[in-house]
Structure 1
């Protein structure tokens, strides 16, 4: 479904995410440079990093992958891979289309390039516009590229299983700008760990038909002829666990965030915090456990929350007989409020006193 249009139909702003226009244009320009001249530079980098023992690529073929719709493009890609493997020569597939079943529904993937080696190996090539400085790139960005490439490798394995003599590399070629220039350089990334994680996650996903069977009869997300209230009811029927990371990946993130806040869900504060709080799933339960009103004291989570509350109360109380809301006065100066005491800087001190008094009256802790 078009989740952006669905978000607007139920009266919630659609969460915008993705690359900026400038980053998108820069990435496209760098990719065109890497693939220019029939992909000569890309194949040179591939042979330099992963082609030990093989002849340097010359006159690599670049099959036409155009077809109608994603299904047609995926079928055309499978045919091109089969023909290139049978030919026993270098081949460069520019933006092939791959299909992968996710939770019982086909997902169509488009890697930047796939190279077929003369020995039948298939290698995924991922082109990114972030730089490699001194042959090293940002680890978080490299990790994201490895996870993305692992999905492509997994989809390629489904095709290779049907092609005699084909094998998919579990190492991918990452091409990035070198240092602060626009010259391409490359690094080889082993994605076996990411592959195992992806396989495990795919097997644990709830299938589409299982989710559909749990919905009320007649539930539909068709935007034609449906009122905003009916669509909102349909969305509410699907369980969702919001996390701040959803803002970077889902158009319905603002709607789910509002629902999570209404439900007082701890998950709205982040997955890591949700994991640490265990059975305490709402903010009200956390505060109640911290005050000693509920929760099993033997539970390590409850004990940790109560300990944190005690430390906070101790920090706010300060030393016995003192008022932590009283403004601090530098040694040798007055407070600025006593006419008998000299003051060299009454303005800031008075402002601190007014601020502390205002926070005390409002019932807020002092800072």
Structure 2
């Protein structure tokens, strides 16, 4: 007698945080929503364990205003001069119906540049982000065998139960139907080489756009980065490989905890309106677990607040991810000093990193003793306030 296999169950429908709930988290429907752009998504993908940033960005909270209200403002954003210069450079790149940028693209990929009349430039403007995203999708889906250039299209991407709307600088549809992502940046390419940190950030942004395009069109494995050449305003370009970056970004975004799960852990009535009582705002922010790292200082408006809290508790995350990884289960400076002290009764003595720390403390003590002997022989006083290997107080600095 054959046994029939149980019927396959369809996967559960994805849960979404309602717009009403997101508005409540911002402080009410009258509080404007900050868009979750590709730059923020790329930074979030690089630190997927930070629930604080995930919820605040997903809800569209103005983190700069929150940081200011908490007394830890961050010097974020471009200067007015940089914005004007960047806008002028972008206008130059897109001039003449995209003739300049398409010539740069074709030179990099080895294709013949199209004639000006052979390029379709659809209008993707519409009321509201959802309308713009739909117009963009229709334009991409309806592209024929010719060239198409989309100026500031809008793409939709589902992230942690919320819809993010992303705005690339340009998208170019090739005659074979594939899409090239074009990033226009105002930092220079000097002697054919771009700043690796800034180019890496541009690649992460382009990877987010590629994920949003995957179900619409085939995306080419290289994005085009257009920057000023040397110290001029003349545009030049290079290719940004995306394949590994897309795979890493997809994996990291999938690791994000869903926004409804994060919001469920907030106290009743908690929200993030900067104008509320500072104590209530601090309570709401601290109810969200953060994953601070020094890299956050260049990517998140709340980084100064999170750094101060991490330092105040002596958390080793303030020393960087590499140090945090080496220290295993030791989470505070006090634990590290306790493990290095050599006291077998110390709670941290059994940690796998304790032996390494004790050896490091022994070598440091030997070096300091040798330095003291040399100082006595030469008459030069040894440095005062050095640590001798004992456990210090929580948050103590190791000199």
CA RMSD of aligned residues (A): 2.6
Q: What's 1:248 paired with?
A: 298
Is the aligned partner of 1:259 residue 2:316? no
Q: State which of 79, 87, 90 in structure 2 corresponds to 1:20.
A: 79
Q: What's 1:181 paired with?
A: 232
Q: What's 2:155 paired with?
A: 98
Q: Distance in 2 between matches of 1:134 and 1:234?
A: 49
Q: Distance in 2 between matches of 1:220 and 1:74?
A: 29
Q: What's 1:196 paired with?
A: 247
Q: State which of 44, 50, 58 in structure 1 corresponds to 2:116.
A: 58
- Residues 174-220 of structure 1 show CA distances to partners (whole Å, capped at 9, x for unaligned) of 12223443322222222000010011001111110111222333332
Contact 2:188 2:227 in 1 (8 A): yes
CA displacement at 1:155 relative to structure 2: 0.8
CA displacement at 1:51 relative to structure 2: 5.2
Structure 1, gaps ≥5 residues long: 161-165, 330-352
Q: What's 1:302 paired with?
A: 354
Deviating more after overlay: 36-45 vs 61-70: 61-70
Q: Distance in 2 between matches of 1:203 and 1:276?
A: 26
Pick closer, same or farther for the CA change 1:55–1:296 going to 2, 3 Å.
closer
Q: What's 2:369 paired with?
A: 317
Of structures 1 and 2, the one with the larger relative CO (CA 8 A, separation 6+) is 2
SS in 1 for 2:193: coil
- Residues 244-302 of structure 1 show CA distances to partners (whole Å, capped at 9, x for unaligned) of 22222222222212211221100011111111111111000001111113367675521
Q: State which of 131, 142, 159 in structure 1 corresponds to 2:199.
A: 142
Aligned residues: 326
Alignment of 1:80-119 (within 5 A): 80-83=139-142, 85=143, 87-119=144-176
Alignment of 1:205-244 (within 5 A): 205-223=256-274, 226-244=276-294
Structure 2, gaps ≥5 residues long: 1-60, 389-398
Is the aligned partner of 1:6 residue 2:66? yes
CA displacement at 1:135 relative to structure 2: 3.0
Scaled by the length of structure 2, the TM-score of the pair is 0.74
Contact 1:58 1:90 in 2 (8 A): no
SS in 1 for 2:254: helix
Pick closer, same or farther for the CA change 1:219–1:231 going to 2, 3 Å.
same
Q: What's 1:123 paired with?
A: 180
Deviating more after overlay: 179-188 vs 226-235: 179-188
Q: State which of 84, 88, 101 in structure 2 corresponds to 1:29.
A: 88
Is the aligned partner of 1:73 residue 2:132? yes
Q: What's 1:337 paired with?
A: none
Scaled by the length of structure 1, the TM-score of the pair is 0.80
Pick closer, same or farther for the CA change 1:74–1:316 going to 2, 3 Å.
same
SS in 1 for 2:150: strand
